[in-house]
Structure 1
Amino acid sequence: MKPMRLSDHIAQQLEIMINARGLLPGDRLPAERKLAEELDISRSSLREAIQKLASRGRLVSRPGGGTYVCDVPHSWSEEVIVDPLASLFMVNPEYRFDVLEIRHGLEGAGAWHAALRATDDDKRRLRARFDAMIELHGSENTMDEARADATFHLTIAEASHNLVLLQVMRGLFTLLQTNISQNLEKLYTLPKVFEPLSAQHRELMEAIIAGDPERARHAAHVHIDFVHTSLKTIDEDEARKARSLRLPSEKV
């Protein structure tokens, strides 16, 4: 087997560090000198590894401004298909229910482990993400609120300290925020839907902070089930209205 190049090994170390520290799109890496000392490598080797990750769209370096974890390259509103799952999602909006089914399993497990493993820093970060999400309610740009919502759920995955779960959730980030955006647009047609959604997110956060895994998993399932049931209700109401507006067939 061909040995791994040093730069590839360092790039792998950087990926592990990004995941382990829960760095999100837009977060800055430590200064180059500090990072090189921390990894016990030369700065030239570090730069080569950063360039590799930059070429994959994982990092971006700004001249004189440091290196940052890359944001999602394209938002749903830009009408660019960047993922085969997103492609399916555009063709048939019913796939949002498939996403919810996957979220039910993943986020229940993530909440369980987060309640058991979250550090004090994880808990502070989770509370900050919750506050940011609440502050963006009613934003003119639905994607801003969806991004904050998706980031809150991703923060729970980070607090689980399960790197496989975290990688899966990160891979679904674009799809997740798209799913949330479309769900929000639908859900906010219902009166007083913000209160139960906020209460569900708060309960999920508080269960994790309290270190209660059963309560946290239950809160995650209650939230996803509420969204699923509410969307089904909206779809059924819209279908009934559409049928009632159809003109009767002309008699032959």
Structure 2
Amino acid sequence: MSDFSIRPERAAEAVARHIETLILEGSLAAGEALLPERDLALRLNVSRPTLRDGLKLLQDRGLLVGEKGRGLRVAGLGRTAITDPLLALLAERPEVEDDYLDFRDVVESHAAGLAAARATPLDRDHVAAALERIEAAHAAAVPADEADADAALHQAIYEASHNLVLLQIMRALSGNLRSNVAANRARMFTRPRVRDHLLAQHRAIAEAILKGDPDAARAAAHAHLAYVRQAARDIAEAEAHGETARRRQSGGGLGQRR
């Protein structure tokens, strides 16, 4: 039973505001189903009619959606904005990758510093668990598992930063983050010892957060993203040179080479 309690005259609004707070702080994630009405009323210590009024306010605001026979769930918040055609266009342009990694460097370095300063014991447990996942996936040498574990660590860092704007933006971008991590890893696996470097970098970030050292966490995150960014540049340059060489061999596909 929750210790949440409210005055009757503003009961429905208070119910709505309480659930809004849970959504904003990430305790209730986009797409997550709410408890059945009876259980919700007990948890919030309100009558079922009051609960229905509060939930209706949230539905009207677009924060909750109903599915027939399946109850209410948190709306897919941020996903409409993140699938804007402009962002889709940016995602399709390989020349934008460097700008995206530059953006990640700025944001993730700051988030790592915040996480080191603000992480609760539970946050540190999540960061430690994410690092263990990375180490296990690295040992198993399964690229897809490594990419998933990589993205999970970055997400744990955003949560530990306790910056709600950073958290919500990156939760909405989580699909892009995971695909970007996977794409970068797939290309970077062609470089010698790259997996070992990435493991060491992630370990340095996590350990700085676990030690509560903001400066070390920021520096480790910056070093990681700088490495990924430079590796992506080097690979793109090598691919471009290879393509040029192939065109020269064939006359660009237009000449009659013999």
TM tier, smaller: 0.7 to 0.9
Shift of 1:232: 0.7
Instruction: Compute the displacement of 1:155 (Å).
Output: 1.2
Most deviating of 218-227 and 175-184: 175-184
Q: CA deviation at 1:159?
A: 0.7
Is 38-47 or 105-114 further displaced after alignment? 38-47
SS of the residue aligned with 1:189? Answer: coil
Which has the larger share of helix?
2
Native 8 Å contact 1:139 1:145 kept in 2:
yes
Judged with a 3 Å threshold, the aligned counterparts in structure 2 of structure 1 residues 85 and 44 are, in CA distance, closer, same or farther, namely: farther
State the partner residue of 1:96. Answer: 97
What is the alpha-carbon distance in structure 1 between the residues aligned to residue 212 and residue 75 of structure 2?
Answer: 31
| 2:88 counterpart residue number | 87
**Which amino acid letter does the alignment assign opposite residue 94 of structure 2?**
P
Between 1:194-203 and 1:157-166, the stretch displaced more is: 157-166
> 1:204 maps to what in 2?
205
- 2-side partners of 1:19 and 1:55: how far apart? 14
The separation in 1 between residues aligned to 2:182 and 2:62, in whole angstroms, is 26
Identify if the C-alpha distance between structure 1 residues 213 and 72 changes in structure 2 by more than 3 Å, giving closer, same or farther.
same
Alpha-carbon distance between aligned partners in 2 of 1:187 and 1:62, rounded to the nearest angstrom: 46
For the structure 1 residues 194 and 105, does the alpha-carbon distance in structure 2 shift closer, same or farther, using more than 3 Å as the test? same
CA contact (8 A) 2:64 2:72 kept: no
**TM-score when normalising by structure 1:** 0.74
User: Which residue number corresponds to residue 121 of structure 2?
Assistant: 120
Q: 1:44 and 1:245 mapped to 2: Cα distance? A: 71
Alignment of 1:213-224 (within 5 A): 213-224=214-225
TM-score by length of 2: 0.73
Report the counterpart of residue 236 of structure 1 in structure 2.
Answer: 237
Alpha-carbon distance in 1 for matches of 2:34, 2:210: 26
Segments of 5+ residues of structure 1 without an aligned counterpart are 75-80
Equivalent residue in structure 2 for 1:14, among 8, 12, 19: 19
CA distance in 1, matches of 2:237, 2:86: 25
Alignment deviations for residues 133-159 of structure 1 (CA, whole Å, 9 cap, x no partner): 34345446x3x5434322211211111
Which residue pairs with 2:7 in the alignment?
Answer: none
- Bigger radius of gyration among the two: 2
Query: Displacement, 1:207?
Result: 0.2
Shift of 1:19: 4.7
Q: How many residues align?
A: 238
Letter in 2 for 1:220: A
> Residues 240 and 152 from structure 1, CA distance in 2 versus in 1: closer, same or farther, beyond 3 angstroms?
same
> What are the residue-to-residue correspondences of 1:132-143 with 2, within 5 Å?
132-137=133-138, 138-139=141-142, 142=144
Deviation, structure 1 residue 211:
0.4
Residues 30 and 126 from structure 1, CA distance in 2 versus in 1: closer, same or farther, beyond 3 angstroms? Answer: farther
Query: Alpha-carbon deviation of 1:217?
Result: 0.3
Quote the Cα distance in structure 1 between the aligned partners of 2:212 and 2:157. 13
Q: Distance in 1 between matches of 2:108 and 2:21?
A: 21
Give the match for residue 4 of structure 2: none
